[in-house]
Amino acid sequence: MGMIYKRGNVWWIKYHRHGKPYRETTRSTKEADAKRLLKRREGEISEGKLPGVYFDRVWFEDLAGDFLTDYRVNGKRSLDKAEAIIERHLRPFFAGIRATDITTAGVKKYIEHRQGEGAANATINRDLSALKRMFSLGAKCTPPKVAQVPYIPMLAEDNTRTGFFEHGQFLALRQALPEEYRPIITLAYKTGWRKSEILGLSWARVDIKEGTVRLEARETKNKDPRTVYLDEEGRNLLREQFQKRRLGCDLVFHRDGKRIRNFRKAWASACKATGLKDRILHDFRRTAIRNMVRAGVPERVAMTISGHKTRSVFERYNIVSPDDLKRAAASMERYFEAQLGTIPGTVGHFDLKQIVTKSDVSTCN
């Protein structure tokens, strides 16, 4: 049996679980509050549940620590981004708050706070996804650190990029870039690989004789290994880069023997010079996919080359251009002309009035 008692003006409760005594403050000066809390704790114990006092001892910092530990032990490459979300966004707002006090209402206040700072919905959703993951990991602990995962609403996003390069635009941009960056965007244009995958490509992953480049599972975002056979231009690209290799540097693309992290200034200058505004290197990913599909490459093969694991994401990148729509209209026109050519008494182009009879006109009226 449990009991209630006072310490000063505050009521406390005492109860047992598996023969071990537990004492808990009600933070209240009302005896009725102590009775209700004791009754709730005894009910939880009788149902085989952990008393709520366990969960009251878990703070935001505990969940955040487990979240980052999960990233580290699983070797996730986006650890730096996860740390930034915790330190810059979530911790300043939720620091010093018990996990049990982080409710849906509290999450909505956080959303309002971030929107007030001018954050985009997509950025806020990344924060919310991290918070949701923190609670999910807490619920899976043994014993669990949270009794339940609060409902965390996500915001509508409208940030899907649709940029791509026509072949002439690619050639113009490549010519406008410094020579050391041209092979990089050529490989991006042909394979649709991510920037990090291209800039991190080492000679150990290249077979010049076979004309292949490959990535190991640990080097890709979706943890799937990948091998791509290059065309003649791609093979020549590898041969030229091989002639430029540096002692002590195993990277295919480098700047004086050191890894290229980015080339934003050169990219911005080239885009400005060619009139290609608001373009990013990732647009080559969409471009490569579209080119492969239009060249007749089976979608499954195109997804393997570009590294897409789900068809939904692949379809999002399979951009339709104005020229595609024009070709579709022309194809439809040829189709209808062929159909009309099958009508008795008509061949190819014809005058529509020739096949409209008086009965048709009267019927229409």
Confidence of residue 202 (pLDDT cuts 50, 70, 90): very high
Last residue of a domain, one of 56, 75, 97: 56
Per-residue model confidence (pLDDT) at position 78 = 84
Residue 359 reports pLDDT greater than 50: no
Do the beta carbons of residue 138 and residue 146 sit within 8 Å?
A: yes
Domain for residue 311, yes or no? no
Segment 95-115 mean pLDDT: 93
Segment 70-85 mean pLDDT: 90
Q: Three-state DSSP class for 158?
A: coil
Segment 328-341 mean pLDDT: 75
Residues 176 and 274 in one domain: yes
Confidence of residue 364 (pLDDT cuts 50, 70, 90): very low
Per-residue model confidence (pLDDT) at position 330 = 80
Per-residue model confidence (pLDDT) at position 264 = 92
Per-residue model confidence (pLDDT) at position 139 = 86
Residues 34 and 106 in one domain: no
Confidence of residue 309 (pLDDT cuts 50, 70, 90): confident
Do the beta carbons of residue 44 and residue 144 sit within 8 Å?
A: no
Nearest to 286 by CA among 324, 326, 320: 320
DSSP state of 263: -
Residues 236 and 132 in one domain: no
Confidence of residue 8 (pLDDT cuts 50, 70, 90): very high
Total domain count, the chain: 4
Strand arrangement, sheet containing 20-25 = 3-7, 10-17, 20-25
Residues 29 and 64 in one domain: no
Residue 74 reports pLDDT greater than 80: yes
Residues 84 and 39 in one domain: no
Last residue of a domain, one of 280, 313, 347: 280
Last residue of a domain, one of 280, 308, 335: 280
Residue type, 187: L
Per-residue model confidence (pLDDT) at position 176 = 96
Domain for residue 315, yes or no? no
Domain for residue 309, yes or no? no
Residues 268 and 171 in one domain: yes
Percentage of the residues of the chain whose pLDDT score is greater than 90: 45
- Token reading at 98: 């018990």
* Residue 166: CB atoms within 10 Å: 12
- Token reading at 151: 């409902």
Residue 357 reports pLDDT greater than 60: no
Residue type, 305: I
Pairing of strands 10-17, 20-25: antiparallel
Residues 195 and 275 in one domain: yes
Domain for residue 13, yes or no? yes
Domain for residue 227, yes or no? yes
Least confident stretch, 93-107, 169-183, 340-354 = 340-354
Residues 172 and 273 in one domain: yes
Per-residue model confidence (pLDDT) at position 314 = 62
Domain ranges, residue 241? 167-280
Residues 193 and 271 in one domain: yes
* Mean of pLDDT over the chain: 83
Per-residue model confidence (pLDDT) at position 296 = 82
Least confident stretch, 148-157, 239-248, 350-359 = 350-359
DSSP state of 90: I
Q: Where are the beta strands (DSSP E) in the chain?
A: 3-7, 10-17, 20-25, 206-207, 212-215, 226-229, 254-255, 258-259
Residue 355 reports pLDDT greater than 50: no
Per-residue model confidence (pLDDT) at position 111 = 96
Distance CA 298, CA 285 (A): 17
Per-residue model confidence (pLDDT) at position 306 = 82
**What DSSP element (H or E) covers 63?**
helix 60-73
Residues 40 and 80 in one domain: no
Domain for residue 11, yes or no? yes
Segment 294-306 mean pLDDT: 82
Residue 46 reports pLDDT greater than 80: no
Per-residue model confidence (pLDDT) at position 363 = 47
Residue 22 reports pLDDT greater than 80: no
CATH number at residue 268: 1.10.443.10
Residues 266 and 175 in one domain: yes
Distance CA 217, CA 221 (A): 8
Domain for residue 261, yes or no? yes
Residues 180 and 270 in one domain: yes
Nearest to 220 by CA among 143, 305, 300: 305
Pairing of strands 206-207, 20-25: unpaired
Domain for residue 302, yes or no? no
Distance CA 32, CA 24 (A): 15
Q: Three-state DSSP class for 10?
A: strand
Dump pLDDT digits (tens) for 210-242: 999 998 877 777 677 888 899 999 999 999 999
